[in-house]
Structure 1
Amino acid sequence: MGEAYSGLSGKGGDDFGYGEPFITYMNVYQNTYISEKDYELVQIAPNEKQNSVQYGDALFTLSSETPEEVGIGAVYLGNTQKLYLNSFCFGIHFYDERVLPQYLAHFISSSSFRRAIYPLAQGSTRFNLQKNDFMKMKFLLPSLEKQGHIANTLDALHCRLANEKSLTEQYILLKKYLLSLMFI
């Protein structure tokens, strides 16, 4: 269904902060969707071979301090510029058009998906995802139509929750302001 690729390789501290855009570990870890606006910079030489991220690619964390945090995923939905991927992540480019990227983003965040990949986290002080075993896993997918309905519903809930969170933060600020006026 797809092909796995690795993130950046052969980079040192001096290579970061300027150059070409790349998707960070935390961006993959914290988001469901990633756009071309969420990146940092890394120096890539003109003849250097590095894998680039494409629209619809599933991106996963490869390494973490706890097994629960290995294999956290997001889907890239940008397509206006060439982006690279952090070295502690890997991506999967899907050739099969039976997978809707918006659905995939929610699927790889689900508890059932997380339970399925949890045993693939190997290590004692630092845990790594066994990418070869990960690629052998099989999952049942609903029809594209059902994937679209599921993704639209979950996206609507996600937006609603984000709005509620923003409102709550604004109310907290308002409360602090009003309390500061009352008790000078």
Structure 2
Amino acid sequence: MSNLINVPLASLALNSGAFVDGPFGSNLKASEYVDDGIPVIRLQNIRPNRYDPNNLRFITKRKAESLQRHNYQAGDVVITKLGELCGVACQIPKNAQSGIIVADVVRFRGDSSRIDHRYLVHFLNSQDGRCQVSQLTKGTTRQRVNLSDFKKIQIPLPTLEEQRRIAAILDKADEVRRKRKQAIALTEELLRSLFLDMFGDPVTNPKGWDKTTFGDLVPAKGEIVDGPFGSSLKPECYVNNGIRVIRNFNIHDDLFDQSSFVYVTEQKFVEIFRSNVIPGDLLLSTKGTIGDICVMPELQGESVLSASGTVRIRLPGKSPLLAEFIVQQMVQASYKKYMKLFEAGTNQKYLNLSGIRKMELIVPPMQIQHNFVAVRENINHLKIRQQIDYSESNNLFNSILQKAFRGEL
């Protein structure tokens, strides 16, 4: 990072109480959540450069007062400290209500005379920032970065004026790629609406279609599997090239994200072959963002599930349901809500194989499914063009990002 001085993140905090993580688990239990009140930010509310207010939890004002040390307010930076995407950061928007962070989130409040929060967020989400976080990550099945380690992250620090200039450029580039991503979301909504017109709500089943469960649909042993046990696939097993590992980061609703992979050796792949993935398999995220589903596309080379948060479902040869049709059922808002009935866990919710096998699916005649999938293909051609536009804007953003934090912008 030419011509830039690196300083530890802790040195940029406003005061000793400005850099904290959330309350210990027993101090904020899921049973204490209420329908309305003071918002609680969890991992799923923090996206790269973006605060996501969906699925907030709430606690009473009295409970929030007892956790005041762990509060956040508009303008603060919040960072994830648990999961495969440790270190993801965003800034709380100006119009957001103040609230409390959970144990797996860090809140940073900087000295405004030295650090611009937008600049900091962009750096933490950059390749250079992510690399530092990756080196600090501990754990196997539950990867984590401690607050004490976050404090050590080195921030390239130009003048405050230069930070603001860089942040403004990156904000504009980020806005372009967001708008192109929004166009994709509108196309996806068109497809969901078409599904409801043809088949009705897949949960209430107003058209009276036959129904099945995943367990009955895929009865063979080893065809619904999760990733290898954590100790079998630790982060240090990853290599630069080899067999791709599919993480929940790659799984989105009706979209397989090919922008970032990690890899393992062929020898490791043989050891964890139970969790292999082939084109046509259904891929389901089961931790973090729970319930995202897509079909594995045709990619060259072998693939395997990561150790956490992913499930592979391999349909039998004479399945009464098309994989693409199953995906469209499960991306419907009502089905998302239905899946929550099968979540396990208290503070950290997840889907296990037992719950997945119990989930019901509607089974219309195969010809109608084929008709729908054919229309879906036409819509997806439009979506692919939109994704190419988004990819180009994303590449441009990342290029600017790398130059910015090397003092070359």
TM-score normalised by the shorter chain: which range applies? 0.7 to 0.9
Question: What stretches of structure 2 of length at least 5 have no aligned partner?
Answer: 1-11, 195-373, 376-409
Residue pairs, 1:77-116, within 5 angstroms: 77-78=93-94, 81-116=97-132
Deviation for aligned residue 1:110: 0.4
Question: Which deviates more, 40-49 or 10-19?
Answer: 40-49
Q: What one-letter code is carried by the residue in structure 2 that aligns with 1:13?
A: A
Deviation for aligned residue 1:88: 1.3
Deviation for aligned residue 1:44: 4.6
Residue pairs, 1:6-17, within 5 angstroms: 6-9=21-24, 10-17=27-34
CA distance in 1, matches of 2:28, 2:42: 14
Decide which structure has greater strand share.
Answer: 1
Does the CA-based 8 Å contact 2:23-2:67 persist in structure 1? no
State the Cα deviation string for residues 99-147 of structure 1 (Å, max 9, x = none). 1112122111100011012111111221110221221333221222222
The residue that corresponds to 1:27 in the other structure is 45
Distance 1:8 1:140, change over 3 A: same
CA distance in 2, matches of 1:49, 1:17: 16
The residue that corresponds to 2:20 in the other structure is 5
Match of 2:87, SS? coil
Match of 2:67 among 49, 68, 79: 49
CA distance in 2, matches of 1:61, 1:169: 25
Deviation for aligned residue 1:58: 2.1
State the Cα deviation string for residues 56-114 of structure 1 (Å, max 9, x = none). 322111111x3xx1122112233664211122111122135211112122111100011
TM-score by length of 1: 0.79
State the Cα deviation string for residues 8-60 of structure 1 (Å, max 9, x = none). 441222211333112221111x241438x664312352651332113432211
Q: What one-letter code is carried by the residue in structure 2 that aligns with 1:165?
A: K
Distance 1:170 1:34, change over 3 A: closer
> How many residue pairs align between the two structures?
173
Q: What one-letter code is carried by the residue in structure 2 that aligns with 1:129?
A: V
CA distance in 2, matches of 1:34, 1:171: 23
Does the CA-based 8 Å contact 1:60-1:73 persist in structure 2? yes
Q: Share of identical aligned residues, percent?
A: 23
Structure with the greater relative contact order (CA < 8 A, sep ≥ 6): 1 or 2? Answer: 1
The alignment's C-alpha RMSD in Å is 2.7
The residue that corresponds to 1:167 in the other structure is 183
Match of 2:92 among 54, 76, 84: 76
Distance 1:14 1:100, change over 3 A: same
Question: What stretches of structure 1 of length at least 5 have no aligned partner?
Answer: none
Does the CA-based 8 Å contact 1:75-1:104 persist in structure 2? no
CA distance in 2, matches of 1:40, 1:78: 19
Deviation for aligned residue 1:160: 1.3
Q: Which structure: larger Rg?
A: 2
Match of 2:109, SS? strand
